[in-house]
Amino acid sequence: MSIRKRKWKGPDGIEKEAWVVNYTDIKGVRRLKTFTRKKDADEFASKAAIEVREGVHVADRDTVTVKKAGELWIATGEGEDLERSTINQRKRHLKFHIEPFIGGTLLSKVDARAFQDTLRAEGRSPAMVKKALGSLGSIFADSIERKLAVRNPVRDMRRSRKGKERRAEQRQKGKLIVGEDIPTRDEVKALVGALSGRWRPLLLTAIFAGLRSSELRGLRWQDIELDRREIRVQQRADEFGEIGRPKSHAGERTIPIPPIVINALREWKLAYSRRSSAGTKTASRSGRT
């Protein structure tokens, strides 16, 4: 490992200089990396020496851009047979929130903090900033397994936060603000009062049972105990209608529901049965004709 100063004249005749780090990587390949400042060259040399010694160094020429790493990350998910909705979410995060800003950047040059600042400056919501950072961290985790990166800047950024900052974040995690994240009591009352038709039982169930959209899609009559006033969550359906078990054991649960939901479901079930019966009779008459 050596550092030397290089001087040369450009086409305009002006003398220029740079600092060149000369080293051999873990494959035994001689590498040269150039810096404009000696301080940066020294820092890289110190870091590269440790990484080479520990067998984890990845040269810039052996890594890929964030866009390419993201495509490999999506391929990994497809190979692991993740749900189609999860794969689509990965594609959206990569296309709309990661590629436009750092897609052409090499993994070794990504600054997670700067990426976070860019997302905020571009008007991304706090929730989306968090999701995009999470996806970027997942891309790096996949790249490390592929030997395309040696560090995860998203994980390093989170570890570098002071204890006070981490504790404050933990306190805020999961807290929902009434009127911003969820409707106020008056807004819920107004919504309930305006519900009618086929949307009434669906939205009442969503409001008072607190089911996720996938759980609502997967709900069956056999999962609803009208006499006992409860709903059993036993399956879910993704946005494409594919049925599966809840994502975790805790997702399988029994939820009590109030009379307003029970009455709406009873009315809906009765109306549905009448329509089905009427349809069967019509079909029978048509058959005889």
Q: What is the pLDDT of residue 216?
A: 93
Confidence of residue 50 (pLDDT cuts 50, 70, 90): confident
Q: Residues 24, 44: contact at Cβ < 8 Å?
A: no
Confidence of residue 160 (pLDDT cuts 50, 70, 90): low
Specify whether the backbone of 132 is left (phi greater than 0), alpha (psi in -120 to 50) or beta.
alpha
| Helix or strand holding residue 231 (H, E) | strand 230-233
Q: Residues 246, 232: contact at Cβ < 8 Å?
A: no
Q: What is the pLDDT of residue 283?
A: 52
Q: What is the average pLDDT across 22-50? A: 86
Other beta carbons within 10 angstroms of residue 102's beta carbon come to 21
Summarised one tens digit per residue, pLDDT across range 190-247 is 999 999 888 899 999 999 999 999 999 999 999 999 999 999 999 999 888 888 888 7
pLDDT above 50: residue 122: yes
Beta carbons within 8 Å of 180's beta carbon, 6+ residues apart? none
Phi, psi (rounded to 5 degrees) for 202: -65, -50
Residue 44 has which token pair?
């890289």
pLDDT above 70: residue 286: no
* Structural domains of the chain, with CATH: 2-56 (no CATH), 66-163 (1.10.150.130), 185-279 (no CATH)
DSSP string, 21-58: EEEE-TTS-EEEEEESSHHHHHHHHHHHHHHHHHT---
Q: What is the pLDDT of residue 289?
A: 40
Residue 79 has which token pair?
């190979």
pTM: 0.63
